[in-house]
């Protein structure tokens, strides 16, 4: 195997965001760009690993978007040149993010490269992304992503093996000297992990007795595995899983499972022919949306219900949970469940990577985020299909409808009315200015009115990891009005164009009376937009997406 050293001028913009490096596909396709990131990641990994990690497998999978296959070939060649002895590539190149995490853990790999821009649209004109996951199966923590960035800024050369492309559409092995490239069946390890948690026989009987659902895989990475588990193993009717074939452009859709982008599923669930349960997952299969007939389950409620019901409805959690965690902007509904069950509840910054240490230390079992992510310590990524199987188990055990389960939950614990407003495509400068001004005014905001409530505390969230004591600051501005209300404002770390400002509104009512969420939050929404001078700064103040 010949190895070439390629020289180039370093790129200065390869700092991973909330979840890896995401850019426009065309930008990624420029000469040396992807190779630079791969080499920088490999160099950074070398700093944190001793011993023979090069002998352990390195896993590669992607969400199937445009450029997936070419990127896989590039990773294989750079990894071979850097001495990796066992490279494992998902057959067809498609493997969801939780699926990749499952393979890394099962195969005791040293880590893996995940090619995904998640829920962002795919194609030459859209987005591409890459991230590195460590040996626990989870996203590299900040100290590793910062090391990758530091490496990339100084990098002037990378190594590449001059070998032929590997056929990634055929299961098998190819040897390159002493190194092995293995193309593996992407369905096997992940199915086993899920099977160890869920009672597939009970769920199969549930479908046999007439339960109906629709799963929209949005032409993305979950399609093949969802068909395999829901239709083939659990016996749901053919056609239950739709848009199951991954496409490089996701069929021209935005593979984001929310009320706006999963419109076809929303329309079905609000129609006269709705099945009993509806669900969707995103580009790389880590996000999920849960629906009942004419009923949307907000991610915060979904997390709270799963945490509440796991021990009694899901075999893998029958011994109870060790604790729960949520990202700071996520609804505090799960905190009430934790309190009632005497569980620890952790509040982390946005980003699944912050849950890794807690799970590794056995401090929490179930975690979730407002951005349609829920998961547990079975892998180290959020897991859309896992959430769907949780809900199926709860539905099968309780024999209630989705709406009844959630309403019963609200009656028991009270309800956090919740909405996230995304203001997308904002010009960077004014967006940064709004945040900077707000940050500067925090001390003076305490005691001021925000709609009907008075601000009792205002801060910029800072997190000290309880395991390694690392500190992450400036993680989102919180305007807290006692126990009743909270507004969180932060800029997204996953966009590829301009700035996206996310504003999270939440209001608690101890007695659930079925009020409309818009009515409960309307005053605060208006007051917050005035406080931020949204119209003045951006010319308009209507959000692009409300979830």
Residue 308 or 369 having the CB closest to ligand G16 = 369
Catalytic (active-site) positions: 118
- From the CB of 197, what's the least distance to ligand G16, in Å? 21
386 sits in the region (left: phi over 0; alpha: psi -120 to 50; else beta) called alpha
What is the SS3 assignment for 24? strand
Q: What is the rounded distance in angstroms from the CA atom of residue 423 to the CA atom of residue 546?
A: 9
Q: What is the rounded distance in angstroms from the CA atom of residue 134 to the CA atom of residue 119?
A: 22
Residue 134 or 234 having the CB closest to ligand G16 = 134
- From the CB of 240, what's the least distance to ligand G16, in Å? 24
Residue pair 306/241 in contact by the 8 Å Cβ criterion:
no
Q: What is the rounded distance in angstroms from the CA atom of residue 265 to the CA atom of residue 283?
A: 16
Please list the residues that pair with 157 across neighbouring strands: 7
> 68-81 vs 33-48: helix axis angle to the nearest 10?
50
Q: What is the rounded distance in angstroms from the CA atom of residue 273 to the CA atom of residue 533?
A: 44
Residue 19 or 365 having the CB closest to ligand G16 = 19
Residue 307 or 367 having the CB closest to ligand G16 = 367
Enter the DSSP assignment of 233: I
- From the CB of 319, what's the least distance to ligand G16, in Å? 27
- From the CB of 295, what's the least distance to ligand G16, in Å? 23
Q: What is the rounded distance in angstroms from the CA atom of residue 83 to the CA atom of residue 54?
A: 6
Residue (of 100, 375, 113) closest to 225 by Cα position: 100
Q: What is the rounded distance in angstroms from the CA atom of residue 121 to the CA atom of residue 438?
A: 32
Q: What angle do CA 340, 343, 348 make, to 5 degrees?
A: 115
Residue (of 96, 103, 384) closest to 246 by Cα position: 96
Q: What is the rounded distance in angstroms from the CA atom of residue 342 to the CA atom of residue 268?
A: 40
Residue 77 or 287 having the CB closest to ligand G16 = 287
Residue 110 or 350 having the CB closest to ligand G16 = 350
- From the CB of 218, what's the least distance to ligand G16, in Å? 13
Residue pair 87/60 in contact by the 8 Å Cβ criterion:
yes
The footprint of ligand G16 (CB under 6 A) covers: 18-19, 118-119, 286-287, 350-352, 369, 371, 373, 492-494, 502
- From the CB of 353, what's the least distance to ligand G16, in Å? 7
């Amino acid at each position: 195997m010949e190895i070439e050293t390629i020289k180039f001028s370093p790129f200065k913009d390869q700092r991973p965001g909330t979840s890896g490096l995401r850019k426009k596909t065309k930008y990624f396709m420029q000469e040396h760009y992807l190779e630079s990131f791969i080499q920088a990641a490999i160099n950074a990994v070398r700093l944190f690993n001793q011993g023979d990690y090069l002998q352990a497998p390195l896993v590669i999978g992607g969400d199937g978007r445009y450029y997936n296959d070419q990127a896989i070939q590039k990773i294989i060649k750079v990894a071979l040149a850097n001495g990796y002895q066992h490279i494992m590539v998902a057959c067809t190149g498609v493997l969801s993010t939780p699926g990749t995490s499952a393979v890394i853990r099962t195969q005791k790999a040293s880590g893996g490269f995940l090619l995904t821009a998640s829920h962002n649209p795919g194609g030459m004109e859209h987005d591409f992304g890459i991230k590195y996951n460590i040996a626990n199966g989870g996203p590299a923590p900040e100290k590793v992503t910062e090391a990758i960035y530091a490496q990339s800024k100084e990098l002037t050369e990378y190594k590449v093996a001059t070998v032929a492309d590997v056929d990634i559409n055929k299961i098998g092995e190819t040897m390159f000297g002493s190194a092995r490239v293995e193309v593996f069946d992407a369905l096997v390890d992940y199915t086993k992990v899920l099977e160890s948690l869920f009672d597939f026989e009970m769920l199969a009987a549930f479908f046999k007795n007439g339960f109906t659902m629709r799963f929209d895989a949005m032409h993305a990475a979950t399609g093949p595995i969802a068909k395999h588990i829901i239709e083939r193993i659990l016996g749901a009717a053919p056609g239950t899983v739709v848009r199951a074939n991954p496409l490089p452009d996701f069929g021209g859709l935005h593979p984001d499972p929310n009320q706006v982008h999963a419109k076809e599923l929303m329309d079905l669930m609000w129609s006269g022919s709705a099945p009993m349960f509806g669900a969707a997952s995103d580009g790389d299969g880590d996000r999920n949306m849960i629906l009942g007939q004419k009923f949307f389950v907000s991610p915060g409620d979904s997390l709270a219900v799963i945490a509440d019901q796991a021990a009694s409805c899901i075999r893998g959690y029958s011994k109870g949970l060790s604790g729960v965690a949520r990202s700071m902007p996520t609804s505090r509904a799960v905190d009430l469940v934790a309190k009632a069950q005497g569980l620890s509840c952790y509040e982390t910054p946005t980003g699944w990577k912050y849950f890794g240490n807690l799970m590794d230390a056995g401090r929490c079992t179930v975690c979730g985020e407002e951005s349609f992510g829920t998961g547990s310590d079975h892998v180290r990524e959020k897991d859309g299909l896992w959430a769907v199987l949780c809900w199926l188990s709860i539905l099968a055990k309780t024999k209630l409808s989705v709406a009844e389960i959630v309403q019963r939950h609200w009656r028991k614990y009270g309800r956090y009315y919740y909405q996230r407003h995304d203001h997308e495509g904002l010009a960077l400068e004014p967006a940064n200015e709004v945040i900077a001004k707000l940050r500067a005014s925090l001390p003076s905001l305490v005691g001021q009115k925000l709609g009907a409530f008075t601000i009792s505390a205002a801060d910029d969230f800072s997190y000290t990891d309880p395991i390694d004591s690392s500190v992450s600051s400036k993680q989102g501005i919180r305007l807290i009005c006692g126990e009743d209300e909270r507004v969180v404002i932060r800029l997204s770390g996953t966009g590829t164009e301009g700035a996206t400002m996310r504003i999270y509104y939440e209001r608690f009512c101890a007695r659930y009376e079925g009020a409309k969420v818009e009515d409960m939050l309307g005053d605060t929404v208006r007051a917050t937009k005035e406080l931020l001078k949204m119209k003045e700064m951006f010319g308009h103040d209507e959000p692009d997406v409300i979830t």
